[in-house]
Every structure is written in structure tokens, then in C-alpha cells.
Structure 1
């Protein structure tokens, strides 16, 4: 049996974590938990990690580092570099971004897997933008893998100056027929209300990167025919709930982080409205002043500075099933949000010792977290173990 097969985790020293609750404005206070219902076990360390995905048959993980490295990680913490990663424009919020394995792939050895990568790509002059590529990971032997036949299948339009708000999160529909990509407004604000570009949008594509048939603005032609929703600022989390509905987790300005149910053709208001204000103190009209625009299911002020999130479906934490579980960076925490219809409310918040950038659920229901690494340049991969074990 190769090391690519499912392995038993060797448990390092656990970290006990206290817990407390906090509520978004207008919501009931979250429960004040005496202690988190888990302990966090460090498994590996990375340089400024940003995203990960987990192979369902083998448990092997792919982890991106913003400076441009793609790592292969076994569940017991063995790490190797994947060769053939594209050159990235590293700086500010830019670099290597999200990674997703194409759905429906099977096999007890990790080889010939199709993956999707996003990254910040340099343009002409002092411009850059997000790019999405598809390629194949081929392995000559255990822990010796390379990315082959990588092809860029989508680009943010247009490339602009600056190094912020790329977003470039990736999510597949449950049937694998559609590919969603979040496209940040690159700190330019106004383009998020302009359907002639893809800044400040979520796009819906076919797996080959072409616009999906039936998109709400298809009649406009390229690039508006890619757009599924618009009026977004910086969507750093995309996930499908157990009903197959798409949700986006979005950074607000000074306040106003939000979780949105993403519906086709809807305008989510940025920069016309927000539940936060500009960093210079200039006020922004609140969502409630514009009922014609899509408002958040829940917003946070003060912020939680969200990373990614999932809808939990596993057995380790049965009371969490169906909830959104959010990686938060400021304050560093794991945040649980219950969904009722089209609404949401925070039900628990578990402080963490360091900023959490990424969360994923493994094939056996285990929860894995990636620390952001901003404080120390290195971020740990953590496995959550139920406190009762």
C-alpha cells in the first residue's frame, strides 16, 4: 500500500480551546459555551497557506501557499512540492489562491487527478487580475508529482492596478455540471455595478471555463454572459448548502462582513450599500435603505474577517450538521451559523490562537483548518478532534 492511501493520523500534542459566543447586530446572542467541543491537533506547517482541498478516496490534501507553491500532504503530515505550478504575481493579497479537485474522481491511489487552480496573474504595465486554470496532477511515485497540461480557462476582466480583492474562490454545483468563481472588485468599487466587466461578480461557467448556458445576462454577450450575480466586494468563501443553494461569504469595508444566499441575476449592493462604512469614516447607506437590492442573510459589525467556510455534513459534530462553519481571522475564531430558510444567525463562536484562513471537511467527516500564517509567516494545518474522544 502506498502512502497515498488513506492513513491513520499520528496525533501531536493537542491544544485545548476556550469558547465564547457573539452575535451580529439584531440577532440573539450566541450561546456562551464553557469550552469548545473539540481539541485542535497540529499536523503540518506551511508558509502563508491560503486554500486546500481533500481527495475523497485517499484523504490526500492539496494546499496552496500564496507565494506560489502547491503542496501535497498526507493525513499524517508528510509534505511534498507539486512541480509545474504557474508563475504568480505575489504581493498584497495576491498570489496562488484556491485549489479544487474536479468532482467525481475515484481511485485508491492519488494519480492523474484533474484540478482547478486560481492565482493572481500579471498583465501589461502595472496591472494584474485573477486567473483560473485546469490541469492534471501526475505522480511518478509516491510524493513525486507534477502539474501537467495546465491551461488557463478563465480570466478576470479587465486587469487593473492594485493588489487587493481578487476573491478567486472556486465551487462546483452538486452535480458537477457548473463551476462558480468569485471575482472581487479589486478595490475599485464602481465596476461591481457594471455588467460590462466581471469585477465584483460571481460567474457561472461550464467545467471547461466557457459561460454556462442560461446565465441571467447571456444576451449581453461577453463577458456579461459569464455573470451569475453582481454588486460584490470581496467574496472569500463559496459553498453549496445541503439543498444545493449557493452561498457567498464576503468581506465588508470597516464593518459589514456578510453571508449571502446567491441567486441568479441579483445585485448585492456594493458599493451602493453596506452594513459597514469606508475606512476613512465616510458613511455608506445601509442595506435596509435599498430593499430593491439583495440584502445579507447575516452581517457582522464588528467584523469577523472571514476566510472560507463549509456546510458541515459529518458525524464528528452531529449538532453542527447543516450549519455554515466559518474560518474567521479577526478575531481569530471558528464561527457556527445556523440557516433557516433564506436567513441565518450565529449560534456559537470558538476563539482560536491564530487567524484561520481555510476550513475543509474530510471524506470521513473530519474537520481540517489552515491557519493564515500572517502573524508568524507559517500557518499550521489543524485537525479537529471531538472533545469526547
Structure 2
């Protein structure tokens, strides 16, 4: 009876409501709630017909179409513990033909849980996943509930990037014999691309694309296909990185933050052979969700990077060279922004964990 009540609540809220207006550097924007009543929403994926999927961290996937929300069956078993659970959802570029979606989640393992990537086919009515395959899982995983990452991004060539946190085991981010604290790249069937930077090197996981990351929870491609990642620092030192193959992004040897105890992290904020962030925040904003905007509805924002803040309840817009935060888009709707994506029409969609809702933002005409 409780589950039925929850489904009915989602159905009522999914119809949306009146748009609120927020002021931005590009003029007023309309922000409309497209679904509410969500329990710890983590990611949103927009389908070609503007219906959409939303993940809830406890292991639920919702399909929303025409103002109605349905629970999707056929999901993988998840270890919903701490920051782990059902995490990202990404719609395949060829969804119109394949109907495939990608999911990341914390997969139960013998020693706890590890970040995993699966692919499955969504039924025509949106209520069921079929032919689910787990095509990657991080090893060795761990028994903590911290720092799973985790975003999945499909590159233009069809390969998949997945961001993985250090699981609270800081030194593991520099240990290339495991997947912790890394960005990995695999083919759509889980095999390793022939041009991965560490392929064939003894003692190094061949899926690694980059390493030295702490807890990357945002990722997106720019117009040139470059991968950008936002990641949590400790106390200070949240970063935006332009991720290149084979490079070391420094954690926990270098950082612009300090430990929560106030003690120094590693060896300072720079070291030869370790990359500098394109931008960092101090104090931390707890970044989660990253999108590089096309400019379709707001031409003046073309190429700008949008990042959600879980701590300070706003959407950060970053631009320029060097990259810097140039604007904060903020209102009641931006309470703990977990994910941010661009729809095919140029609208900006985002998740507010604090509101338990998904919102759509367009110009106020």
C-alpha cells in the first residue's frame, strides 16, 4: 500500500506546474518542475521523444511520459549503502534504433561493493529493461559507502567513459593496478579499446584512461569531443579537469584543499608529472553533474560549462581562459543540484535533491 501511494504521488506531480522565473546574465529564464516526490534522485536521461528516465539512489528507475511516472523493472541488484546505489543513466546515441541505455551503480561484491556499468534495452512502453549486461565493474571495490563516482559518458566513437572515486582509500588513486580514483574507457561490449593509453602495460589495468582522481561526480563532452570532469576535493580543492589519456590528476599527492582535520594534503598543490585543474573551488561547493552547453537556446553561453552545487544550492556557470566561475544561477529550485543535462532542444534540465524533483529551464520569452 505504501509503494502504491508513492507511485500515485509521483504520477500527480509528474504533470508539472507553473514556471518560476529566475534572473540570469542572459535574461530571465523559466524553470518548470517536470516531476517531484522523488527519493534521493541521482540522474536524469532524456529520450528522443522528450520522455525521460530518472534514477533514485535506493535502486529505483522511473520512466516519465505524458505527465505519468512508471517504475521500470529488470534493474541490476545494487548495494544501496552510503553514497552507493543506482547512480547514473545515459541514453545511447543510437537509442532510436537500439533502445539501449547505460546505467552505473554500486554492485555487490564479496568484499563490499564496486562501481559497475551495465547496458540494457528499454521496452517500448518504458516499463521494463531487457537483455541487461554488466560490461564493467571496478576491482577490487571496497567495504565503505564512500566515493563511487559515478558518471557514464558515451563518446562520439561509441566508447564509454566511466568516472570512479577512490572509495575513501586515498593511496589507491595512484595505484594503477586497480580502478579506484580513475576514469576508465571501454567499448560498448565491455572490451578494451585498442588505443587506451595503458593497454599492454604490465601491472596496469587496461581500462584506465586517467588516474589520480578523488570522487568525480560530473562528466560531459565539449563540442570537440573532449571530456571534462568535476570532482569533489576534501575541505577545499573541488576541481574541474580536462581529462586527457594517460595523465595523472594528482590525488592525493597534490590538492588545493586540506583534510577535514585541517591537516595538509600530500606534498602541496603542484608536482611535476601531475596535472593542474582547469578550475578549483575553495571553499568547496560539492560539485555534482557537469554539462558543456551547445548554445542552442542561449548562444551567449555556447561552450560554457555548467556544474551543480550540492553544498551551496546553485548552478555554476564557468567560462573563459583561464576557466573561472562567472555566474551562479540560484533559486528555490536549485537546492542541492545533483545532475544537469542538455535536452535535444537546448533546454537545460537539472535534478534538485533537496526538492526531490527534476526541473526544465528555458528562456522566458
TM-score in same-fold range (> 0.5): yes
- 1:308-360 deviation per Cα after TM superposition (whole angstroms, max 9, x unaligned): 111111432221111111111110101111153xx411111122321111111
Who is 2:196 aligned against? Answer: 215
| Offset at residue 39 of structure 1 (A) | 2.8
Q: Distance in 2 between matches of 1:256 and 1:286?
A: 14
* 3-state SS, counterpart of residue 206 of structure 2: helix
| Offset at residue 284 of structure 1 (A) | 1.9
Who is 2:329 aligned against? Answer: 350
Q: Distance in 2 between matches of 1:352 and 1:265?
A: 40
1:61 lines up with 2:37 in the alignment: no
Are the aligned partners of 2:255 and 2:270 in contact in 1 as well (CA < 8 Å)?
A: no
Who is 1:4 aligned against? Answer: none
1:250 lines up with 2:220 in the alignment: no
Distance 1:319 1:39, change over 3 A: same
| Correspondence list, 1:146-161, <5 A | 146-161=128-143
1:198 lines up with 2:179 in the alignment: yes
CA RMSD of superposed structures (Å): 2.0
Distance 1:90 1:190, change over 3 A: same
Are the aligned partners of 2:150 and 2:218 in contact in 1 as well (CA < 8 Å)?
A: no
* 3-state SS, counterpart of residue 45 of structure 2: strand
| Offset at residue 289 of structure 1 (A) | 3.1
Are the aligned partners of 1:314 and 1:364 in contact in 2 as well (CA < 8 Å)?
A: no
| Offset at residue 299 of structure 1 (A) | 0.1
Higher relative contact order (CA 8 A, sep 6+): 1
Are the aligned partners of 1:51 and 1:99 in contact in 2 as well (CA < 8 Å)?
A: yes
Paired residue total: 349
Who is 1:16 aligned against? Answer: 21
| Offset at residue 12 of structure 1 (A) | 1.6
Who is 1:28 aligned against? Answer: none
* Correspondent of 2:357 among 380, 383, 387: 380
Q: Distance in 1 between matches of 2:131 and 2:164?
A: 24
Who is 2:43 aligned against? Answer: 51
Distance 1:36 1:93, change over 3 A: farther
Who is 2:150 aligned against? Answer: 168
Q: Distance in 2 between matches of 1:302 and 1:338?
A: 19
Are the aligned partners of 1:48 and 1:379 in contact in 2 as well (CA < 8 Å)?
A: yes
Are the aligned partners of 1:171 and 1:179 in contact in 2 as well (CA < 8 Å)?
A: yes
1:118 lines up with 2:104 in the alignment: yes
Are the aligned partners of 1:255 and 1:300 in contact in 2 as well (CA < 8 Å)?
A: yes
TM-score, scaled relative to structure 2: 0.90
Who is 1:25 aligned against? Answer: none
TM-score, scaled relative to structure 1: 0.85
1:77 lines up with 2:67 in the alignment: yes
* Correspondent of 1:227 among 197, 205, 208: 208
Q: Distance in 2 between matches of 1:10 and 1:365?
A: 21
* 3-state SS, counterpart of residue 238 of structure 1: strand
Are the aligned partners of 1:287 and 1:293 in contact in 2 as well (CA < 8 Å)?
A: no
Distance 1:286 1:386, change over 3 A: farther
* 3-state SS, counterpart of residue 300 of structure 2: helix
Are the aligned partners of 1:174 and 1:240 in contact in 2 as well (CA < 8 Å)?
A: no
- 1:58-83 deviation per Cα after TM superposition (whole angstroms, max 9, x unaligned): 11211100011111112x53211111
1:97 lines up with 2:97 in the alignment: no
Who is 1:30 aligned against? Answer: none
